């Protein structure tokens, strides 16, 4: 113990410690006080009683309170509401919270694979589920809440957010909530066109808990943001992480969320910090015991002892939902000192801490490491500071070099990226739009999208630029288009010259005929030829610019319609649409499939590729999942599905569509560890799902498949989501097999 105290004293004894103390002198817990709504909360609540509202306010400022109060009022009036989130984990969390607020009978949950109390007056759902419901005609909630509304910009999922805003009935009020909505007024202007009335925009800049920014050098020491001259050379040294935790503890800056760019980094950090024992293991053990009662698998979790003995926990997508919820619960109770989380889960960690520390300013992406955007930075740093528990929130920026420190400090004042459309028409949209309207009406619907609204300004600019180009000023000319006329004239002159060469051997009558044509050409007798020649190059430049602008205008105006048309062409060729773009009998039932890979599902059903085998359909669900595949697994008999994927990809290429990348998931891979070819990712996912459906033990399955628990859980849940889609089809054998498979999949610890 004496050695530990000495280490702490050595960590903080430096020239900058006095200044750091001054920066952090107001760290602490505010005195207990009754909750009083902020002015922006009261303004937003009053506005949502009357119409649509967009709320942009910092993380932790109480945006959810607005929705909770509005829903409580609606319940008292016998009305209904849908509350949507982008993540299933957040939907589950809100489901349990609202059940505690309003009573379990008043709250339902709808995700891709689960339906709980679906007829309840308050329904919590993932965003795509609400989009799917709005494609029908019966869903008319009095209030629709879109949490994390900046997901409109998400390249993969933003289309669903946009469709909800376009499809929502006029009598349903909208409440959009986001911490990063810098262009809320632009979105409000678009909604004014779509909805007929302008929504109220409530913007709050002030954080309820003020923020402080400090640095952490390569040795893990905390230093003021203006002390770059005290950075030690050599980058990050060994033991920096434990030194950082000791410094944070010394300055009363715990609990902390430590953000890492990778899962491995999170787990390694948690292991390193778990050697630092913490006070109160019995309290953490008691809190964990409550979770272990509902989820016994947590008793064998590899980081259980780290939580109980040291108050340290990793939190990322590689862990099950139960583990992440348990960690968030203990963090909220003040029983966790440090949570090691991935940057990509910044929006999924719904519990703030006193301090947020960034290990780096980059995150991982499919293309490799990329620098954090201002939006990502603000999403992470916004987790610092708990309302009612902290007087300030603290963000610790990495400073292994002066350049890194300056980059981090620059992000503090950087504006988040504006929310822009990522709308892309797909097979789901084509079928469901054409099911209820003609082709012309569907195209008009596309022109109501935010994507079309954003392009309208560019269209106007291009049209104005085209209109600003003056016409040909040589009005006395005897020709219509003098660029074409003069070009043809000069080519004829050049041809005559070549024909008159001694070695040309051209019959004289051909030369005579061409000369006659030249003589009759307008340029031969043009009264303004000299003026024409003097100005023709300038005219050529203007017309080239006019042509380029027209091409750009066509590209901007026609993008959505062209994309829609190419998808419709694929559906026509496969027989889901007739030549007049009306849904065929197959198109009618296929429109009920609202899965991103609905075309593969529809074709597998229509061609009877799978039959009525429960295990085979479970395998299909696993094959079409999008989560990273287990490292191990056997062949799953997916040859017919693989051939279908290739056929559809070829068909899409012929329509100049980008093929679904699922076709690559059926290709075997090379394993560099075992130095041999292994089954395809689709096979390995399907193999794991079928094994789980047949009753495999969870611990044994994760060990044998070498999958992370969180990945395996999501593969199974995504497979169940596919199966739930099939349960709505008018084919009894398929419906029965899909339901049987789904019910077998949804058992602890998956749910």
Q: How far, in Å, CA of 465 to CA of 452, rounded?
A: 19
Burial class (CB within 10 angstroms; exposed 0-12, middle 13-18, buried 19+) of 751: middle
**410-422 confidence digits (pLDDT tens):** 999 888 889 888 8
Please give the residue that has the higher pLDDT: either 673 or 220: 220
Q: Residue 345: pLDDT band by 50, 70, 90 thresholds?
A: low
pLDDT at residue number 50: 95
Q: What is the DSSP string of 213-276?
A: EEEEETTS-EE-TT-GGGPPSSSPPTTHHHHHHHHHHHTT--SEEEEESSHHHHHHHHHHHTTS
Q: Inform me whether the pLDDT recorded for 1 exceeds 60.
A: no
Q: How far, in Å, CA of 533 to CA of 542, rounded?
A: 15
Q: Residue 98: pLDDT band by 50, 70, 90 thresholds?
A: very high
pLDDT at residue number 16: 66
Q: Looking at residues 266-294, what average pLDDT do you find?
A: 94
3-state helix vs strand vs coil in the chain, percent to 5: 55, 10, 35
Q: What is the DSSP string of 465-520?
A: HHHHS---S-TT-SSS-HHHHHHHHHHHHHHHHHHTSTT----HHHHHHHHHHHHH
pLDDT at residue number 14: 58
Whether 399 and 223 have beta carbons less than 8 Å apart is answered as yes
Q: Where in the chain is the domain with CATH 1.10.3380.30?
A: 592-745
Q: Looking at residues 589-607, what average pLDDT do you find?
A: 94
**167-219 confidence digits (pLDDT tens):** 999 999 999 999 888 899 999 999 999 999 999 999 998 888 999 999 999 99
Whether 257 and 339 have beta carbons less than 8 Å apart is answered as yes
Q: Tokens at residue 79, please?
A: 């009305």
**522-545 confidence digits (pLDDT tens):** 998 999 999 999 999 999 999 888
**367-377 confidence digits (pLDDT tens):** 778 889 998 89
pLDDT at residue number 8: 39
Domain 592-745 class, CATH top level: mainly alpha
Please provide the average confidence, as pLDDT, over all residues in the chain.
90
Name the pTM for this structure: 0.82
Q: Could you give the angle at the alpha carbon of 313 between the alpha carbons of 310 and 319, nearest 5°?
A: 150
CATH architecture group of domain 39-203: 3-Layer(aba) Sandwich (3.40)
What CATH code is assigned to 209-412? 3.40.50.300
Whether 603 and 648 have beta carbons less than 8 Å apart is answered as yes
pLDDT at residue number 458: 78
Q: Inform me whether the pLDDT recorded for 131 exceeds 80.
A: yes
Q: Where in the chain is the domain with CATH 3.40.50.300?
A: 39-203, 209-412
Q: Inform me whether the pLDDT recorded for 2 exceeds 50.
A: no
Q: Tokens at residue 371, please?
A: 């620098």
Q: Tokens at residue 449, please?
A: 């999208």
């Amino acid at each position: 113990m004496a050695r530990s105290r000495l280490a702490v004293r050595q960590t903080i004894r430096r020239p900058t410690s006095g200044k750091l103390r001054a920066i952090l002198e107001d760290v602490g817990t505010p005195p207990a006080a009754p909750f009083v709504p902020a002015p922006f909360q009261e303004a937003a609540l009053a506005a949502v009683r009357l119409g649509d509202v967009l709320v942009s306010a910092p993380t932790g400022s109480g945006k959810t309170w607005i929705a909770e109060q509005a829903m409580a009022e609606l319940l008292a009036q016998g009305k209904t509401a849908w509350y949507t989130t982008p993540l299933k984990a957040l939907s589950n969390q809100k489901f349990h919270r609202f059940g505690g607020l309003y009573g379990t009978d008043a709250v339902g949950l709808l995700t891709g694979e689960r339906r709980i109390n679906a007829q309840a007056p308050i329904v919590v759902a993932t965003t795509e589920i609400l989009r799917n419901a709005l494609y029908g005609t019966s869903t008319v909630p009095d209030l629709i809440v879109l949490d994390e509304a900046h997901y409109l910009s998400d390249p993969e999922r933003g289309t669903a957010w946009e469709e909800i805003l376009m499809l929502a009935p006029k009598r349903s009020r909208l409440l959009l909530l986001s911490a990063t909505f810098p262009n809320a007024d632009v979105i409000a202007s678009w909604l004014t066109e779509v909805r007929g009335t302008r929504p109220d925009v409530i913007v709050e800049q002030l954080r309820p808990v003020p923020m402080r920014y400090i640095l952490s050098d390569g040795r893990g020491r905390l230093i003021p943001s203006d002390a770059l001259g005290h950075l030690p050379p050599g980058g990050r040294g060994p033991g920096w992480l434990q030194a950082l935790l000791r410094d944070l503890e010394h300055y009363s800056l715990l609990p902390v969320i430590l953000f890492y760019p990778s899962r491995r980094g999170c787990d390694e950090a948690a292991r390193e910090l778990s050697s630092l024992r913490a006070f109160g293991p019995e309290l953490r053990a008691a809190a964990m015991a409550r979770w272990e009662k509902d989820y016994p698998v947590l008793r064998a979790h590899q980081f259980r002892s780290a939580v109980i003995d040291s108050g340290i926990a990793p939190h990322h997508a590689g862990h099950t939902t139960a583990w992440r919820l348990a960690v968030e619960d203990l963090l909220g109770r003040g029983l966790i000192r440090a949570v090691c989380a991935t940057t990509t889960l910044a929006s999924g960690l719904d519990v703030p801490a006193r301090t947020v520390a960034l290990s780096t300013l980059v995150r991982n992406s499919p293309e490799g490491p990329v620098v954090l955007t201002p939006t990502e930075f603000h999403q992470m740093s916004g987790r610092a500071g708990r309302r009612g528990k902290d007087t300030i929130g603290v963000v610790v920026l990495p400073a292994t070099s002066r350049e890194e420190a300056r980059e981090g400090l620059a992000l503090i004042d950087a504006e988040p990226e504006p929310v822009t459309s990522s709308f892309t028409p797909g097979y789901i949209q084509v079928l469901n739009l054409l099911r209820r309207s003609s082709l012309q009406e569907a195209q008009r619907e596309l022109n109501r999208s935010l994507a079309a609204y954003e392009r309208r300004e560019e269209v106007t600019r291009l049209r104005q630029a085209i209109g600003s180009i003056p016409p040909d000023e040589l009005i006395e000319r005897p020709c219509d288009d003098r660029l074409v006329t003069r070009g043809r004239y000069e080519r004829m002159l050049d041809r005559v010259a070549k024909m008159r060469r001694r070695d040309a051997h051209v019959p004289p009558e051909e030369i005579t005929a061409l000369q006659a044509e030249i003589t009759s050409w307008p340029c031969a007798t043009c009264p303004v030829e000299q003026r024409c020649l003097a100005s023709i190059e300038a005219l050529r430049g203007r017309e080239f610019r006019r042509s380029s602008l027209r091409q750009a205008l066509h590209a901007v105006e026609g993008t959505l319609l062209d994309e829609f048309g190419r998808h419709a062409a694929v559906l026509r060729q496969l027989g889901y649409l007739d030549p007049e773009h009306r849904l065929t009998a197959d198109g009618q039932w296929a429109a009920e499939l609202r899965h991103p890979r609905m075309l593969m599902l529809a074709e597998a059903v229509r061609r009877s590729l799978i039959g009525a085998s429960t295990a085979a359909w479970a395998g299909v669900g696993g094959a079409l999942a999008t989560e990273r595949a287990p490292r191990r697994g056997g062949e799953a008999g997916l040859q017919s599905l693989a051939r279908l994927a290739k056929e559809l990809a070829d068909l899409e290429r012929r329509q100049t569509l980008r093929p679904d990348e699922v076709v690559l998931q059926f290709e075997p891979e090379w394993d560099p560890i075992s130095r041999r070819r292994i089954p395809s990712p689709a096979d390995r996912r399907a193999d794991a799902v079928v094994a789980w459906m047949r009753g495999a033990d969870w611990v044994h399955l994760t060990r044998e498949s070498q999958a992370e628990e969180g990945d395996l859980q999501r593969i199974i849940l995504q497979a169940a989501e596919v199966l739930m889609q099939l349960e709505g089809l008018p084919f009894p054998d398929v419906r029965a097999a899909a339901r049987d498979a789904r019910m077998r999949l949804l058992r602890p610890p998956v749910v």
